[in-house]
Structure 1
Amino acid sequence: IYHGSASGINTKPTQILEGTTPYFGYSIAGDMDLDRNSYPDVAVGSLSDTVTIFRSRPVINIQKTLTVTPNRIDLRQKMPSCGAPSGICLKVKACFEYTAKPTGYNPSLTIVGTLEAEKERRKSGLSSRVQFRNPGSEPKYT
């Protein structure tokens, strides 16, 4: 499948549909919503009396924000109440929001992620200057 642009058809395909029947791709039809999910499906035919249906699925876009408080660190100002040996603590808040097309598509999502600090420094063999309150969640490098 090739997308077009103002200057013509892009020469790099955006998606490749493959089939195993002889002469797969002899005919192609689109702009039909066969499964009634508000997305156009594609039917690809061959000379062997076989049609393959490629159904389109909803698209989910995830927006993310990461907030660090305070946004500036004064190494001279200690906070004994934070419990860190250095006396300096940060609060990190990760928020995720998604939009879906069609707008009626509203699944329950589970987002799994990893929060890492000073990854490149630790990969280089240097000691980390950051400690997570729950050390079991901190990745290990060998």
Structure 2
Amino acid sequence: MAAERRPGHVFLSYVREDSERVDRLQRALEAEDVPVWRDIGSLWPGQDWKLEIADAIGHGSFAFLACFSEHSAARGRSYQNEELVLAVEQMRLRRPGQPWLIPVRFAPVALPAFPLGAGRLLSDLHGVDLFGGDDEVRVGRLVGAVKSILLAQAATAND
């Protein structure tokens, strides 16, 4: 059984081929003291990885970054799709307009037509493009948005 956790990390969802790009994003977040949950560093040998991922999304994350690229677009099947289903379920439990799920593009690809409910799609959420120049500025804005979500969540927890 997964350990009970207090919300306190950003969940990084991606396909394996984007590991180097996600490494850079993770370093930028952690440099600003933003805790990250990522499969390669958060899962331990012998753990039920599907259960741990579901727990990390549902009970531990204050933000979910869904990373897309030419690699994810080329995949017909990926566990990232399951992570997105879990993330959408969590997002639907939150107040409308409360930022939590953030699309991140590493390449100029269309976001998958993932339904969010109420006629909205994943592509309706404002995301961040980490390609085409100004990546440092864009990563900074993304880190700032994630920190803002964390602060807002901490404020509501203290109410």
Shared fold per TM-score greater than 0.5: no
Shorter-chain TM-score category?
under 0.3
User: Counting helix residues as a fraction of each chain, which structure ranks higher?
Assistant: 2
Higher RCO (C-alpha 8 Å, min separation 6): 2
TM-score scaled by structure 1? 0.25
User: Counting strand residues as a fraction of each chain, which structure ranks higher?
Assistant: 1
